[in-house]
Structure 1
Amino acid sequence: MIMVDASGVPLAVHTSSASPAEVTLVHDTLEASFGMDFPKRLIGDKAYDSDGLDVELETLGIEMIAPNRRNRKKTQDGRPLRRYRRRWKVERTIAWLQSFRRVRTRDEVKAQNFLGMVQLACIVILLRLVTSPPVP
């Protein structure tokens, strides 16, 4: 799980096994942030569409934006869902992470070592963003 800001800079990374649902890993990802405050909004895919998660994040002052699942009874209005179009920035950051072979192939046996490699890749991405020349 990865959390990025509006420009695609990694803010939090959390690794876990593939068995738990993504909805249950949101709090762990928020706690694993790199010293930042909680964001005002979280954008996720349909897996994050949960009433329980919406209530929990609302108590923290975070607005959850996720497209509605097919069986949803209480739906969001169109304004927050227009922000969902910005999710491509998260996908772009994931693609940047996939450019590192050890992260892409997950050569590490231990989860702690893999998390360290992902965090190192996030640092390299951050340094590339900071040191790159401005686009005219």
Structure 2
Amino acid sequence: MESPQHDPVELIDQHWDLIAPFFSDPPRRADGKGRPRAPNRPILKAIFWILRTGAPWKDLPCHYPSRSTVHRRFQEWNRSGVFNGALQALYERLAEQGQLNLSECFIDATFASAKKGAWTLGKTKRGKGTKIMAITDASGLPIAVHVASASPHEVTLVHDTLDATFGFDQPTRLIGDRAYDSDALDAELASEGIEMIAPNRRNRSKTQDERPLRRYRRRWRVERLFAWLHNFRRLVVRWERHTENSLGMVHLGMMVLLLRHL
């Protein structure tokens, strides 16, 4: 059990001040009846504990609010768009500071096995699970995530992932690995003003120009993003049955990463 003096994910005053407006409480009943709600900050720290450790909700340490309160608040915030709103505010702050660069973006996917079953579940050679698609900016900051069944090919999930950006303009260039080598995808993105850069699969003739392909050398930045996200053990294995809850956990992981850059 974690001691009260140690939290695997800290929520310092500076970071809490940035996102606190989005975690405001609903108005009290006009008659003043009903129990007062538990404070939001300890509940968010409890959710971060679940995110970091990957532990079941029932294992939440006793120095946090009750597990039922924490889980109920997580679902309430997630379904009402609180996480999205907080992320949007963080991105606006990063953009104001000149920390976002969409001149080239990187796309990739990671596999998360589903141990208890889930919606949007797909079979692969690695077992049943889901894909977490992600796009980073030129520096490796996440700008979009999308959770989908693990069965479809990544090429078919590119547009859904681009649609999941938080109000950004389209990237100038999108760089991926061989899984994204597709003439149809190249043409679709080109019609939207996006240059797709990916090395050719071994069974295809060479079509990529060597000069833009040099940018592929920086694709490690999206792989580093997944390494960062996998530090949150709740994202390595999917335990949430509902897709919106699984995506909410990914958004929380993104929130922690962005806060570290502010």
Give the TM bin, normalised by the shorter chain.
over 0.9
Q: CA deviation at 1:73?
A: 2.7
Of 188, 194, 200 in structure 2, the residue corresponding to residue 68 of structure 1 is 200
Q: Measure, in 2, the Cα distance between the counterparts of 1:32 and 1:69.
A: 27
Give deviations 1:18-49, integer Å, cap 9, x for gaps.
01110000000000101111100111110100
Aligned counterpart, 1:103: 235
1:26 counterpart letter in structure 2 = V
Unpaired runs of 5+ residues, structure 2, are 1-132
**Identical residues among aligned pairs (%):** 68
Of 161, 166, 169 in structure 2, the residue corresponding to residue 34 of structure 1 is 166
Report the number of matched residues.
130
Aligned counterpart, 1:5: 137
Q: CA deviation at 1:99?
A: 0.5
Unpaired runs of 5+ residues, structure 1, are 131-136
Aligned counterpart, 2:225: 93
1:40 counterpart letter in structure 2 = T
Q: Measure, in 2, the Cα distance between the counterparts of 1:105 and 1:99.
A: 12
Q: CA deviation at 1:74?
A: 4.8
Q: Measure, in 2, the Cα distance between the counterparts of 1:77 and 1:16.
A: 31
Q: CA deviation at 1:112?
A: 1.2
Aligned counterpart, 1:52: 184
Q: Measure, in 1, the Cα distance between the counterparts of 2:209 and 2:135.
A: 24
Worse overlay, 114-123 or 100-109: 100-109
Of 69, 82, 85 in structure 1, the residue corresponding to residue 214 of structure 2 is 82
Q: Measure, in 2, the Cα distance between the counterparts of 1:44 and 1:107.
A: 28
1:92 counterpart letter in structure 2 = R
More helix by share: 1
Check if 1:122 corresponds to 2:260: no
Q: Secondary structure at the match of 1:94?
A: helix
Q: Secondary structure at the match of 1:24?
A: helix
Aligned counterpart, 2:244: 112
Worse overlay, 90-99 or 64-73: 64-73
Q: Measure, in 2, the Cα distance between the counterparts of 1:95 and 1:108.
A: 21
Q: Measure, in 1, the Cα distance between the counterparts of 2:227 and 2:260.
A: 14
Q: Secondary structure at the match of 2:238?
A: coil
Q: Measure, in 2, the Cα distance between the counterparts of 1:66 and 1:57.
A: 13
Q: Secondary structure at the match of 1:95?
A: helix
The 8 Å contact of residues 44 and 87 in structure 1, kept in 2 or not, is answered as yes
TM-score, length basis structure 1: 0.92
Query: Runs of 4 or more off by more than 6 Å in structure 1?
Result: none
More strand by share: 2
